[in-house]
Chains A and B, each alone.
Chain A
Amino acid sequence: MAPPNVRGSSSNRKAQLSVFTGYLVAAAGAAIGAALLIISLWQPQAMAGLRSMVSDAAAPVGKAGASARTGGKGFFDAIAGYYRAGSKNADLEQEMQIARVKLVEAQAQTRENLRLKAALGLREGEIKPVALARLIGSTSSSARRFAFISAGTADGVQPEMPVVSPMGLVGRVLEAGAHSSRVMLLTDSESMVPVRRAKDDVVAFAEGRADGSLRLRLINLGLNPIKRGDVFVTSGAGGLFRPNVAVAVADVITKDGAIARVLSNPAATDFVSIEPVWQPEAVQSLSVQPGSAKDTR
C-alpha cells in the first residue's frame, strides 16, 4: 500500500510540523535506546530488577507451556520407539549385561571410597538442593543463551547458584526474581566452567560456543590427551560448582582441546534442581561482579 501523503502539501504548515515532530521523537527514541544499550553493556545488571519483575508476571503462562512440552515429547518418543524395535531391544539387552557388571564394580568402589574417607576423617555431607523448578523457556532468538526457571528468591534461589538436571550440569542462576529466575546456560558464550576428565585428572575449561556446543580448552598445554568420547565432569575449582557433576562429552578433537557436546540437553529436561553454591566463602573472597562471567571460575 502506498503511504498516506503526509509531506505533499507545502502550504499546510501544521502537517509539515507534525512530520518534523514525528522524526524528532523517533530520533530521540533511538538515542534513548543507544544510551540504554551502552549502560547495559557496561553494567549488565542495571535492568535486572525490571526484567525479573516482568518475567515473574509472565511465568505462570510459561509454566503451563513447559508441562505441555514434556507431555508432547513423551508422545513422540513413544511413536519413534516402534521403529527398529527388534534391533534396539537386542542392543539394550547387551548394554544391560555390561551395565550390571559395571554396577557391581561401582558399588565396590563406593564402599572403598567411604572406607578411605572415614580413614582420612573427611566428612562430606550430602548436598541438598535449594529448590526444584521447571525450565520454562529460553531466549531462543537471541545470540545469548539464557533460560527461565519457575523458582525465585521466594524459594531460596540466589544468583550464582548452580542449576543441575539428573543428566548433568545445566548452568547457573544469573538473576533471581521473586518467583522466576534467569539462568545462564552452559552454551552461552560468556559461560566458563572448570572441568576435568572423569577417568583421570586432565583439567580444562569448558567455554560455551554460540552454536550449542562447548569448547574444551586444556590448562596444561602440550600433547593433547583427549580422545573422542571422553566424558568431562566439574572439577570443583573456583568453588561455584560442586565436583563430579557431568558436563560434556568430547566430540571433535582440536589443537588445544576439543569441541564437546553438552550432556544435559536442556530441551529434554523437565525438572531441574537449584543447588547452593559449593564453597560460598571461596566465591566471595574472589569478589567478582556477578555479571562478568569470564572472571568467575
Chain B
Amino acid sequence: MIDPINPRARRDAFGSKINRDHSSLLAFGVPWLSILLASLTPLLPIIASAPIVPPLAYMLLLAWRLMRPGLLPLWAGLPLGALDDLFSGQPFGCGILLFSVTLIGIELLDARFPWRSFWQDWIIAIGLLAAYLVLGALVSGAHIQRGLYIALVPQFVLSVVMFPIVARVVSMLDRLRLLRVRRLA
C-alpha cells in the first residue's frame, strides 16, 4: 500500500510549489510601494509642534536595502526621494540627495563587508539615521540655533528604537513579496 504523502510536503512558507510561481509585480513592486506609502506620513492625523515622528520612508529604504541587497537599483534614491520631498516639508532636492548618497554608501559598504548580522546592520542604520537627521535639519531652511539640534534628540532616539520594528515589518512584507500567487498555465 502506498502511504498518502504529507500534504505539506509540496508547500513552503510562500505557498504551494506546484503550478504556482512568484509574481514579478509583487516581487519588485512591494518595496517601492511600501516606501512610497511611508512618504505620506505627514498626512497622518498627527499634528506635532516639534519634530518627533521618525523619518519612516528613509527607515524603510534602509531596512529594504540592508535586508535585500540588489533589490532596489542604485538609482532608486532619485524617484523615492523626490516623492518624499513633496510631502516631508524639507526643501525639494534634500530627499533626492540624501537617499541617493545613502544607497551609494551602502553599496560601497557591501563591497567591503559583505557578511553582516542584524546587530551590525542596526549600527549602520544608527549612523546613517543620525547623519540624515542632522543634515536634513541643516539644509531644511530653518533658522539654525542651538535648540534645533537638542530638539532632534527625541526623534533620533525614537528612530533608533524603532529600526528593529521597521526591519521586522520589512521582513513580513518580504514574505508577502515572495508569495507564489501566479498560476502557471
Cα(A38)–Cα(B43), bound, Å? 26
Which residues on the A side are within 8 Å of B31 (C-beta)? none
Which residues on the A side are within 8 Å of B110 (C-beta)? 3
Cα(A252)–Cα(B141), bound, Å? 27
Which residues on the A side are within 8 Å of B51 (C-beta)? 140-143, 210
Contact partner, A212, options B42, B43, B50, B145, Cβ 8 Å: B50
- Decide yes or no whether B73 CB sits under 8 A from chain A: yes
**B159 (CB) vs chain A CBs: closest residue:** A141
- Decide yes or no whether A104 CB sits under 8 A from chain B: no
Contact partner, B136, options A36, A142, A188, Cβ 8 Å: A142
Which residues on the B side are within 8 Å of A2 (C-beta)? 69, 114-115
Question: Given that A2-B114, A26-B100, A54-B86 are known contacts, is A140 also in contact with B41, CB under 8 Å in the complex?
Answer: yes
Q: How large is the interface on A (under 10, 10 to 19, 20 to 34, 35 or more residues)?
A: 35 or more
- Decide yes or no whether B130 CB sits under 8 A from chain A: no
Contact partner, A3, options B41, B55, B69, B78, Cβ 8 Å: B69
Residues of A11-26 whose CB lies within 8 A of B: 22-23, 25-26
Whether A37 contacts B91 by the Cβ 8 Å rule is yes
Cα(A32)–Cα(B91), bound, Å? 14
Among A40-48, A105-113, A198-206, A281-289, the stretch that binds chain B is A40-48
- Decide yes or no whether A154 CB sits under 8 A from chain B: no
- Decide yes or no whether B93 CB sits under 8 A from chain A: yes
Whether A33 contacts B40 by the Cβ 8 Å rule is no
Whether B100 contacts A29 by the Cβ 8 Å rule is yes
Q: How many residues of B contact A (CB 8 A)?
A: 66
- Decide yes or no whether A297 CB sits under 8 A from chain B: no
Which residues on the A side are within 8 Å of B99 (C-beta)? 33
- Chief secondary structure at chain B's binding surface: helix
Whether B47 contacts A61 by the Cβ 8 Å rule is no
Cα(A162)–Cα(B155), bound, Å? 29
Which residues on the A side are within 8 Å of B47 (C-beta)? 69, 135, 137-138, 140, 147, 266-267, 269
Which residues on the B side are within 8 Å of A262 (C-beta)? 49
Cα(A262)–Cα(B54), bound, Å? 23
- Decide yes or no whether B25 CB sits under 8 A from chain A: no
Cα(A207)–Cα(B83), bound, Å? 30
Which residues on the A side are within 8 Å of B115 (C-beta)? 2
Cα(A209)–Cα(B101), bound, Å? 30
- Decide yes or no whether A6 CB sits under 8 A from chain B: yes
- Decide yes or no whether B74 CB sits under 8 A from chain A: yes
Cα(A33)–Cα(B83), bound, Å? 12
- Decide yes or no whether A242 CB sits under 8 A from chain B: no
Could you tell me the distance in whole angstroms from the C-beta of A12 to the nearest C-beta in chain B?
Answer: 16
Cα(A28)–Cα(B97), bound, Å? 10
Whether B43 contacts A26 by the Cβ 8 Å rule is no
Cα(A147)–Cα(B69), bound, Å? 36
Whether B93 contacts A34 by the Cβ 8 Å rule is yes
Cα(A36)–Cα(B94), bound, Å? 8
Whether A37 contacts B40 by the Cβ 8 Å rule is no
Which residues on the B side are within 8 Å of A44 (C-beta)? 91, 141
Could you tell me the distance in whole angstroms from the C-beta of B63 to the nearest C-beta in chain A?
Answer: 12
Contact partner, B90, options A4, A137, A142, Cβ 8 Å: A142
Identify the A interface with B (CB < 8 A): 1-4, 6-7, 22-23, 25-30, 32-41, 44, 46-47, 50-51, 54-55, 58-59, 61-62, 65-66, 68-69, 135-148, 185, 187-190, 207, 209-212, 262, 265-267, 269, 294
Q: State the 6 A-B residue pairs at the shortest beta-carbon distance, nearest first.
A: A139-B89, A36-B93, A33-B96, A33-B97, A37-B93, A212-B49
6 contacts between A and B (CB under 8 A): A3-B110, A3-B111, A22-B73, A137-B43, A148-B42, A211-B147
Known: A37-B91, A210-B147, A211-B151. 16 other contacts (CB 8 A): A22-B75, A23-B74, A29-B77, A29-B100, A33-B95, A33-B97, A50-B86, A61-B43, A62-B45, A65-B44, A135-B47, A138-B46, A140-B48, A140-B51, A145-B49, A187-B49
